[in-house]
Amino acid sequence: MFYVFPRAIPKKECNRIIKYCLKNIKFEKASVINKGFGDTVPDGVTEINPESSRIDDPVRKTDVGFITEKDNEINQIVWYYLREANKIQFKYNLKYFQPVQFARYRNGGHYDWHQDSPGISPEGETRKLSLTLSLTDPKKYEGGDLEFYGGGRKMEDHGAIKGFQILKDIRDQGSVVVFDSRDFHRVTPVTKGTRYSIVCWTVGPNFV
């Protein structure tokens, strides 16, 4: 289940965000959480315990960095759309936002099918909503599609929703998509150019 704000952020603002992040954020290779350590990273944590994670290029190949300043204006942008989508569609009990992630996909960069949250965690809190903001002009890269698993159904089978239009809306520069963190999704390999995106998550009490 997801909600799309097509082309919500002006192209000029997207380009400014990219320049800011490239100047101020230190990239690291993204890791994959090992089984037995949970599927989420605690609020405020930007480095994962090496024993709980691994670099696994066949599963996830991308560079990421985090915006840790709570008063950063990028936070305000993404938090607004997370709240709006929740108010319009999801109506989940949300407690706080996790640090905003800036991601760079290039040279085959991808992230295979995964969930941002299993839905229930031993700590009593779990990621509930995820957000992706597409920052790059889609003409400047190939591949790199954010896709959602539909249980074998084609995108056009989702009721009155036109699947191909959804894919285009999500890919367009400045588009924001908010989705249930339990949904399986992936980013297909980037075959040409570089794809930049902003990702953020909200946390609330376990689903019951």
pLDDT at residue 63 in the model: 96
- C-alpha 138/C-alpha 115 separation (Å) is 25
pLDDT at residue 52 in the model: 62
pLDDT at residue 151 in the model: 60
Cβ count near 64 (within 10 Å): 19
pLDDT at residue 155 in the model: 46
Q: What pTM was computed for the model?
A: 0.85
| Closest C-alpha among 139, 155, 148, 158 to residue 182 | 148
**Cβ(158)–Cβ(78) under 8 Å?**
no
pLDDT at residue 40 in the model: 39
Q: Across the 208 residues of the chain, what is the mean pLDDT of every consecutive 10-residue run?
A: 93 98 95 56 38 81 93 94 97 96 97 90 93 97 90 47 64 96 93 98 93
pLDDT at residue 119 in the model: 86
pLDDT at residue 35 in the model: 54
- C-alpha 68/C-alpha 105 separation (Å) is 21
Query: Which backbone phi and psi does 113 adopt, to 5 degrees?
Result: -50, 130
